[in-house]
Amino acid sequence: MLPQVVMIQIPYYPGCTLKNKASNFETSALAAARALGLELVELPRWNCCGAVFSLSSDDLMRHIAPTNIFLRVQEMNRDHLVEDEYRLVTFCAMCFNVLRRTNQRLRESLEDRNKINDFSYLETETYQGRVEIVHLLELLRSMGWDKIQERVQKPLTGLKVAPYYGCMLLRPKDVGIDDPERPTILEELLRSLGAEPVDFPLKLRCCGSYQTVPNKDLVADLAYDILSRAQKAGAEAITTSCPLCAFNLDFRQKEIQQKYPMFLPIPVFYFSQLMAIAFGLPQEVFGLAGHYANPKTLLATKGYLQATSPLEGG
């Protein structure tokens, strides 16, 4: 018997990539959240957050896009789409980082906040600093790992997964969701799902991020280091919460195979895909079709996919 869940509604910001190239991540994340009683209500309209937080001290213009997203949360409360809920949930690690950092700057500097509000002529609201940016992983942790474990229908027993944190979930320190040098949140999630977390030395090492645009060979080398070290530690799969890390670690395996012919492909899962599988949700929400390194063989071998039904999803 599944535990009874009371649904709570929280505003949700998807960001560009989860609505487009990585929509399979969104499908699995929304379904997994729903299974835990989290009804993530997408902002009625939203814009790109900018993907990277602007680090220069002047140019406030670059913080307007994320501020507009905060205004949408205020409007949702005003219009009763949610009731007194100022938390804004994201899955994408890069969106999370930009939104939390911008929010931090606007909360700390009344001058910056006023200036942005003053020049937002087309907005009907002014930003009050009330929004709280929350990553889904943080929400899971606050629910308690035992609650996640209770929901598991098909424990991922014997699946060795290397948690790859990357940068944007953890750094800088006052933005990150866990200890920047010794995080455990992904390991905790994996353990709750019945999987075996594999520790490896490069779990915090940058994958090269947006350098994948001008220099894919460099990113292929960085990804090769990360993936092969995870494999050496015994990992059969990798998991991450960043769609850009997922792209670099998964799709750059093509370049890796050309450069290093001995390399064996390894599937890269978005953390919510593993949740959907372990929760025993319908296979079509797993979103296994949008991968480069085929995840289905591994999952079928482990008995997490039914061979009789179509393996395609998302």
Partner 1 sequence: MVRKIKLQAKNREFTRKISELSGEVAMLCEQCGTCAGSCPMLAEMDITPSQMMRLVQLGQEAVLENKTFWVCASCYTCTVRCPRGIDPAKIAEALRQVKLRQAIDYIRIDEIEPEEAKKLPAIALVAAFRKMTG
Which residue stretch of 6-14, 50-58, 186-194, 227-235 sits at the interface with partner 1 (rule: CB under 8 A)? 50-58
| Token couple for 77 | 């409360």
Per-residue binding string, partner 1, 178-217, x by CB under 8 A, is --xx----------------------xxx-xxxxxxxxx-
Burial (0-12, 13-18, 19+ Cβ within 10 Å), 180: middle
Q: Does 54 bind partner 1 (CB under 8 A)?
A: yes
Q: Does 314 bind partner 1 (CB under 8 A)?
A: no
Q: Does 51 bind partner 1 (CB under 8 A)?
A: yes
* Sheet with 132-135, edge to edge strand ranges: 38-42, 8-12, 87-90, 132-135
| Token couple for 45 | 């309209």
E-only strand ranges, the chain:
8-12, 38-42, 87-90, 132-135, 160-163, 196-197, 237-240, 268-270
User: CB-wise, 101 or 151, nearer to partner 1?
Assistant: 101
Rg of the chain over all Cα atoms, to the nearest angstrom:
20
Per-residue binding string, partner 1, 85-124, x by CB under 8 A, is -------x-x------------------------------
- Select the residue interacting with partner 1 from 44, 158, 172, 234 (CB under 8 A): 172
Look-up of token digits 């949740």: 275
Q: CA–CA separation, 20 vs 264, rounded Å?
A: 28
Which residue stretch of 32-40, 151-159, 163-171, 232-240 sits at the interface with partner 1 (rule: CB under 8 A)? 163-171
Shortest Å, Cβ 106 to partner 1: 15
Identity of residue 13: Y
Shortest Å, Cβ 202 to partner 1: 9
Look-up of token digits 């990113």: 219
Shortest Å, Cβ 34 to partner 1: 24
User: CB-wise, 50 or 295, nearer to partner 1?
Assistant: 50
| Token couple for 60 | 């406030």
Shortest Å, Cβ 165 to partner 1: 11
- Select the residue interacting with partner 1 from 66, 163, 183, 243 (CB under 8 A): 243
Q: H or E element: which one contains 227? A: helix 216-232
Q: How would you classify the pairing of strands 237-240 and 196-197?
A: unpaired
Contacting positions for partner 1 (CB under 8 A): 15-17, 20-22, 48, 50-52, 54-58, 62, 92, 94, 167, 170-173, 180-181, 204-206, 208-216, 218, 222, 243-244, 247, 251
